[in-house]
Structure 1
Amino acid sequence: MITKNINGLSFELKQDFDFTFLSEYGNVFSVFDKQDSGYLCFGVQNNNKKLFIKMAGAETIRSNVGTDVAITRLKSTVLIYEDLRHPILIEMIEHKEIEKGYLTVFEWFEGECMGKQYNSFDKFLTLPLDKKLSNYQDILLFHSHVNKCGYIALDFYDGSIMYDFITEQTRICDVWNFTVKNQ
């Protein structure tokens, strides 16, 4: 195991990886390394603009897939994000190859991931019913859009949803498990 430190933030990998590409986007202020997808994600700020970077290629501790599979999966999401553009879907602004990997760059959303592995899951459960129903309506609205675009969500899960507890806005942040119908 390797412990990496970027801008004072530590995380562990199975093997070392070069993250110098991140400096092109600004200073890392957050690391999201608890995914089992093989992705490693970063919150980055530059010139008063925050970005969310999702990358594949580094061997993460919790990954249940190899780096080649993670890279292929991340690349496959690019067209889906472009096809499914919607106010509830986090906006992808760039994607590209990096040395030994691939990355996608998104507009930052101030929400928290609803995945069970995060503290926000329990926080969400304590919300009043009307707030939960509003979140659910947003998710249904997005899935209606997905259907109209000819896609279907094969494995939509809590880790695909973000919620901002202050503005009460919902965003979908992961579409790797969406596919074109009748494929």
Structure 2
Amino acid sequence: MFPGAIDVPPATYLDQLGTIFTRFPAHDSGNISFGVRTADTRYFVKTAGDPADPQPFLDFDGRVALLRNAVELARSVDHPALPTMHAMIESPAGPVLVYEWRDGELLGASRDRFKALPTGEILAALNTLYDLHAALDAAGWVEGDFYDSSMLYDFPAQRLTVIDLDSYHRGPFVNTMGRMFGSSRYMAPEEHVLGAPIDTRTTAYVMARTAQLLLNTPPPPLHAVLSEATTSRFPTYQAFHEAWLSASSTIGDNLVNRST
């Protein structure tokens, strides 16, 4: 259905594909994204934005590189929490990424509503998030720029979707920025330190910090795991995830799986 390349601006092509029903402006990222409705379905389409847009944090070439990185991630990991990527289309304005549309609210804007949910429902969403990162970790991906607006939550369907993992890195690397991209509330200490190693331990910290910020009162066994992950630290993401699953088993499926 989708061509491998187009010779017109992305918005022009999308107007031909269907109806653009929403447009997400560039903000700090420089990316411009669209919601597109066709006769059969809806798509989320992400572009590198205007090549002439001199964003202070990331220039056009940098935005293109991150979109190509997102393509590599989408092709390497298949998980229910990730929207399916249907196509990557080359255009005069860089790659155009076509994903399935997922309903939901960004937790960056709906965090308080999410935190007011029953503990069991929040834990079920966290289990989905952690299972996704187990798959990402197994494929060699290390966290980058993950925070609450990397998550969509469909409240009626109780479904978590994870988006915008463009800054994830294939394999360990060294912090060459000092203060890296991200929300300081979620970031690991090494994401603030020039020359620090960024690796699977970083992923574990950020995932644990996510739970600390989204759970009002974690059950004691889970609280202990989250505290260890953000103080003395687990040596790997796998070790953190295994500790989380083991602690979850001690509080019983009734709480973990309960959504009402």
Name the Cα RMSD after superposition: 2.3
Instruction: Confirm or deny that 1:108 pairs with 2:98.
Output: no
Report the 3-state secondary structure (helix = DSSP H, G, I; strand = E; otherwise coil) of the residue aligned with 1:71. Answer: helix
Q: Residue 88 of structure 2 aligns with which residue?
A: 95
- 8 Å CA contact 2:125, 2:160 repeated in 1: yes
Quote how far apart the aligned CAs of 1:62 are.
7.7
Q: Residue 10 of structure 1 aligns with which residue?
A: none
State how far apart, in whole Å, the 2-side matches of 1:121 and 1:62 are: 28
Q: Deviations over 1:37-84 (max 9, x none)?
A: 221111110013000001113267987322221122112211111001
Q: Residue 3 of structure 1 aligns with which residue?
A: none
Q: Deviations over 1:148-172 (max 9, x none)?
A: 2222213322222111111011111
Within a 5 Å distance, the mapping from 1:166-181 to structure 2 comes to 166-181=156-171
Higher strand share: 1
Q: Which runs of 5+ in 1 are unaligned?
A: 1-16
Q: Which runs of 5+ in 2 are unaligned?
A: 1-8, 174-260
Q: Residue 71 of structure 2 aligns with which residue?
A: 78
Instruction: Confirm or deny that 1:140 pairs with 2:149.
Output: no
CA change 1:63–1:112 in 2 (3 A) is farther
State how far apart, in whole Å, the 1-side matches of 2:118 and 2:88 are: 38
Give the TM-score normalised by the residue count of structure 1: 0.79
CA change 1:18–1:77 in 2 (3 A) is closer
For 2:136, give the aligned amino acid.
V
State how far apart, in whole Å, the 2-side matches of 1:40 and 1:61 are: 14
Higher helix share: 2
Q: Deviations over 1:97-141 (max 9, x none)?
A: 212232100011112222x3x3x3343233232222221111111
For 1:27, give the aligned amino acid.
T
Q: Residue 57 of structure 1 aligns with which residue?
A: 49
State how far apart, in whole Å, the 2-side matches of 1:61 and 1:48 are: 37
State how far apart, in whole Å, the 2-side matches of 1:168 and 1:35 are: 29
For 1:93, give the aligned amino acid.
H
- 8 Å CA contact 2:145, 2:165 repeated in 1: no
- 8 Å CA contact 2:10, 2:96 repeated in 1: no
**Alignment: residue pair count:** 164
CA change 1:27–1:62 in 2 (3 A) is farther
State how far apart, in whole Å, the 2-side matches of 1:61 and 1:181 are: 29
Which structure's CA Rg is the greater one? Answer: 2
State how far apart, in whole Å, the 2-side matches of 1:44 and 1:153 are: 29
